[in-house]
A and B are shown apart, each in its own frame.
Chain A
Amino acid sequence: MKETGKYQPYNYFQLMEVSLRELLVEKGIVTEAQVAATVEDMRNRTPERGARVVAHAWSDPEFKRKLLADGTRACEELGLDVPALRLVAVENTPAVHNMIVCTLCSCYPRMLLGIPPDWYKSRNYRSRAVREPRAVLAEFGLDLPDEMKIRVHDSTADMRYLVLPMRPAGTEGWSEQQLAAIVSRDCMIGVAVPRIA
């Protein structure tokens, strides 16, 4: 958006945010510095974190085994804090494709993927992903063969999900950095698969 320098009044939600924040600071419940640090921390969580986990799992079979057994602990090993909520990694294979949705709201592995995309929170995706996953995936440009089973994971409670995509052929000998570069956010939600450019 172009900065016009014109005065724009706060909208309802901005006003609520400012009022609540100022009250909390005034009452000594939080400090401005804590609010700023938390916002900064949220901004720093990007899908690159998840891609690092995937690339490491592709490169280290022992780590992959741990990730599938206990996602939270495996991520801690990489120095990634996955607080309170448990991470379940689900593995794509030639026989099974996984995709993630939260039909009730917008539960999302924010600790690894950051802020969810708008479509993930849309009523359209949330209602159709569980009802007609193949049609939804086709709209994302992913046509899966009928023989491949689709498993849709509805994040209804305390678990959070990460799809571990299949490592594409032709990436033998790649470094973890090279591998991480082809793992997009959508691959880890399960609406895309990694491809070599």
Chain B
Amino acid sequence: MAASELSARFRPGERVRVRKVYPLGHIRTPFYIRGRSGVVERLCGAFGNPEELAQMRSGEPKQPLYRVRFLQTEVWPGYRGNPEDALEVEIFQHWLE
């Protein structure tokens, strides 16, 4: 069977929010970034879903993976530093809205 992958729903420059949910299991979305909003920096390609792979399943359909840029001041209340300091995190599509 050919590998299946989902098509990308977001474009670079688009504003997105990380879903604020707390499922159990092997999750590659850090807690600190859940519920935060940022801007898509780039689409990295489609990769096996790590939450499925961790259960010894195929990881398909592959999930588009994005690099999302967050402003530090929007991630951490009271952040000290340049107001344009940023954090870039890889987030799978099913975690974005």
Contacts and interface: CB of A to CB of B under 8 A. Distances in A.
Given A86-B44, A156-B91, A158-B44, A149 B30 contact: no
A151 B44 contact: no
Contacts of B44: 86, 88, 157-159
Interface string B70-97: 0010011000111011111111100000
A80 interface: no
Contacts, number: 72
Nearest to A101: B87
B86 A157 contact: no
Interface residues of A, number: 23
Interface in B27-65: 28-30, 32-33, 44-45, 47, 50, 65
Nearest to B29: A156
Interface residues of B, number: 27
Contacts of A158: 44-45, 47, 65, 90
Contact of B81 (A103, A134, A155): A134
Nearest to B86: A151
B67 interface: yes
A146 B85 CA distance: 10
B88 A157 contact: no
Interface in A97-130: 103-104, 130
Contact of A130 (B50, B84, B87, B91): B87
Contacts of B76: 131
Contact of A156 (B75, B81, B89): B89
Contact of B85 (A86, A150, A153): A150
Given A146-B82, A158-B47, A152 B88 contact: yes
A144 to B, nearest CB: 9
Contacts of B28: 104, 156-157
B90 A157 contact: yes
Contacts of A157: 28, 44, 47, 50, 65, 90-92
Interface of B: 28-30, 32-33, 44-45, 47, 50, 65, 67, 69, 72, 75-76, 80-82, 84-92
Closest 6 CB pairs of A and B: A157-B90, A154-B89, A158-B47, A156-B90, A149-B84, A150-B85
